[in-house]
Structure 1
Amino acid sequence: MNNKTIAFIANFTGIFLFGISMVIIGSILPLLKARFGMSDIAAGGLFSVLPVGMLAGSVLFGPVVDKFGYRWVLSVASLFLSLGFFGIVHVGSLHLLRAGIFFFGLGGGVINGGTSALVSDLSEGKNKIINLNWLGLFYGIGAFSMPMILSRIDEIHYTLVIDVVSGISLAVALIFLLINYPLTVQKEKISLKLIPVFVKNKLFMAICFYLFFQSAFEAIINNWSVSFFIDKLAVPQYQALIALSVSVSGLVCMRILTGSVLKKWHHFRLIQLSLLLFSLGLICLVLPASYFVHLLGMFLIGSGLAPGFPVMLGLVGEIFKEVSGTAFSFAMLIALTGNTIINYSIGILTEKFGMNVFPYVVLVEIVMMIFIFLLIGKADKKTAIRY
């Protein structure tokens, strides 16, 4: 097995664990609320701690990776994930719980951005989007597996399952420390002068703000859909967890398709399909229909979420090849700012209006993403990025 294959496998394993970390809080939120006596605002605050940690990780990883390489960065990030998993099931205070979630965010932000940048650096041309899509597939498998497993076991076994994931994260930290990293791109020296270069690039900034809403949308589904199904649609927790897993299965299925059957599609055609699936999914969610129609809505929304990050980060990697880590870091910073702001806002809105606001927030997300996509298309014609 060559060094590049080993590096890809390590990346896929790391993003798999990141996928688990992104849904674990939403999956066990009802238990955490009962355990610590939290209100909806306090729960929204927990979800805001996660992207704050991710923001910190996203800001740090790019410049450090471009200057020093991937080895220690990805290894330490996996260690933070391990600490986060261990912390959320063993701490006895709300402050320590927040600290554990922050470790999730910090490690997750580095893993998410670092593995994406590394896969981009290991790939060339259109293979950037294809390989980033496969990376996203393993994120989806991780995000799918945890709520599905938790929905099928008794609550008393949750701690054991999460402890096992913590141990796997620790093993991955050692793997990242030992493997080689064969890169296809010669990096440039990083500088703060890159910031105005980023800001002046209209296509890049439009992509960043698309990811602002894409990241928030993913977090909304991961963090609030379980509560929406329980509170608004009046289903038991295990069925709400199945709904979350169904949305992730949609993401997984679509990433399999975009990495195989649809791999020759133009990247903008994939985004158009994504926006259509969002709209159809929302219609299914708000219809006064059966649980299975609502499940279809979650599947369609999950499918729509699939192309966003692989396509947009593939474009970023093509625009800024020599400083891809820093460019990814900047894009993730904008994306996770949206994640933080919108998650906290939902906590405030649900405290005042209940989970009735959930479909309206999803609608606003879709409208904004359509608008920004039109701006991206306009900027792309001027920049002429083509594969």
Structure 2
Amino acid sequence: MYRSNLVFFAACLGMLLFGVVFLSLGSVNNLLAERFQLDDVAIGTLTALLPLGILLGSLAFGPVVDRFGYRWMLAGAALAVGAGLEGLAFTTSKLVVQLCVLVIGVGGGVLNGATNALAADVSEGQRAARLSLLGVFFGIGALAMPSTLALLSRYYSLPTIVASIGAAVLIPAAYCLAIDFPPPKQRADDASLLDGLRLLRDPVFLFAGLALAVQSGMEGLSNDWMTRYLKKVTFAGRLHAEWQLQLGLIATAGAMTLARLALAGILRRVDCRAVLAASLGLTAVGAALFRSTPEYGTALLAALLVGAGLAAVFPIVLSYIGDLYPDRSGTAFSAIFVIALTGNMAVNKAFGYVAHAHGVEQYATMMLSCLAVSAVLLTIVVQRLNLRTSSPGP
């Protein structure tokens, strides 16, 4: 018999590891560039392989955990990430590096989706709060990789540090093998990838997926374009230090992590709809501040507000999905994350064209535009959920 707190801790360990995955390539790309004499095009190829792997992992995990349970899927994904990190640390082959990045991405995609689905499965009645708490561990993992490299690089070589992090992956893998998990929800012949496509027939699921696609796009904009916006717009050619640019990114990521920690308590007492409205409002104020003035202090405040505002949507919408599909949560979360990741790539690619044509100063306008679309989609989701719960019929 499984114990929900032990299972939830397994999900937290997996999400922490996904945070490491998310920042892994950015943390070691200089190491790889020097070892293999990679140019920007080759580095660009590597950066494309990581989200591709995450997308593949997100697509695959759902039907597997619904059929066979979480134990071996989580342990295998953790070991895949560890093996990939060991490869990055020691390989002398460019092809192996590319394979390692792809494997790390696939393992990370499985960890991201499966931990969210697992947390939803063992958190009935408090899904939004515990999914928000789960997101805190992503922030911890994301900050751990670059911080560990920065702190220990004075004493050890980067390959040694990366290999040690890869070896540490054995801890969550062993933990997952040692505890009991909820039993599989479906027979082996009851779950398939086609089930994810069938879910799109449900308007609530479809609009929730589109809302998360836009939300994921905004999170991608805040992660990928923040430093460039500060460099090109806030400082606009004036002298600045690299840490001043990185501080904007830290402000966004740190505010999101702290906000999710606070939401773990707030969502136990406050209606999700009110929290969603406040979240959208904070993000709008932050994006508007980016447009109002080029001053650095104001930009940092805007980054904090955007990070805090973006924190609530994913855990709340995922809690809705967990409530709607408790008997096939793996497949539902798999499909929803594929939609979200596709939106992330599409929004960021679109803004690349916008920035090329009109300048990166359109960052705030793009954020506000995405926010308006997100608000409409989330309103539709909430309204349809209200109709479903108030209807006496099935």
Rate the CA distance shift 1:385–1:207 in 2: closer, same or farther, 3 A. Answer: farther
Amino acid of the residue matched to residue 316 of structure 1? I
Aligned to 2:268: 263
Conserved in 2, the CA contact under 8 Å of 1:47 and 1:343?
no
- Structure 2, unaligned runs of 5 or more: none
Answer yes or no: is 1:308 the counterpart of 2:313: yes
Amino acid of the residue matched to residue 175 of structure 1? Y
> Which protein shows a greater Rg?
2
Conserved in 2, the CA contact under 8 Å of 1:19 and 1:140?
yes
Q: CA deviation at 1:360?
A: 3.7
Q: Distance in 1 between matches of 2:248 and 2:158?
A: 19
Amino acid of the residue matched to residue 75 of structure 2? S
Aligned to 1:166: 166
Aligned to 2:303: 298
- Structure 1, unaligned runs of 5 or more: none
Conserved in 1, the CA contact under 8 Å of 2:7 and 2:180?
yes
Rate the CA distance shift 1:329–1:288 in 2: closer, same or farther, 3 A. Answer: same
Provide, for residues 280-309 of structure 1, a one-character-per-residue CA deviation record: whole Å limited to 9, x for no partner.
221233343433322222211111221122
Provide, for residues 25-53 of structure 1, a one-character-per-residue CA deviation record: whole Å limited to 9, x for no partner.
456667877863216xx766554432221
Conserved in 2, the CA contact under 8 Å of 1:47 and 1:223?
no
Given the two structures, how large is their TM-score scaled by the length of structure 2? Answer: 0.84
Aligned to 2:65: 65
Aligned to 2:364: 359
Q: Distance in 2 between matches of 1:348 and 1:48?
A: 17
Given the two structures, how large is their TM-score scaled by the length of structure 1? Answer: 0.86
Conserved in 1, the CA contact under 8 Å of 2:259 and 2:308?
yes
Q: CA deviation at 1:141?
A: 2.0
Higher mean C-alpha deviation, range 192-201 or range 368-377: 192-201
Aligned to 2:243: 238
Q: CA deviation at 1:354?
A: 5.6
Conserved in 2, the CA contact under 8 Å of 1:26 and 1:222?
no
SS of 1:259's equivalent?
helix
Q: CA deviation at 1:211?
A: 1.1
Aligned to 2:52: 52
Aligned to 2:212: 211
SS of 1:323's equivalent?
helix
Q: Distance in 2 between matches of 1:232 and 1:161?
A: 36
Rate the CA distance shift 1:237–1:101 in 2: closer, same or farther, 3 A. Answer: farther
Aligned to 1:202: 203
Of structures 1 and 2, the one with the larger relative CO (CA 8 A, separation 6+) is: 1
Conserved in 1, the CA contact under 8 Å of 2:288 and 2:364?
no
Aligned to 2:293: 288
Provide, for residues 195-250 of structure 1, a one-character-per-residue CA deviation record: whole Å limited to 9, x for no partner.
46412211111111111112222223233323433454444333323322221211
Aligned to 1:225: 226
Q: CA deviation at 1:85?
A: 3.4
Number of paired residues? Answer: 381
Answer yes or no: is 1:175 the counterpart of 2:175: yes
Amino acid of the residue matched to residue 38 of structure 2? F
Provide, for residues 53-95 of structure 1, a one-character-per-residue CA deviation record: whole Å limited to 9, x for no partner.
1121111100000101111111111122223434556566765
Aligned to 1:19: 19
Answer yes or no: is 1:325 the counterpart of 2:330: yes
1:107-122 to structure 2, matched below 5 A, reads 107-122=107-122
Amino acid of the residue matched to residue 53 of structure 1? G
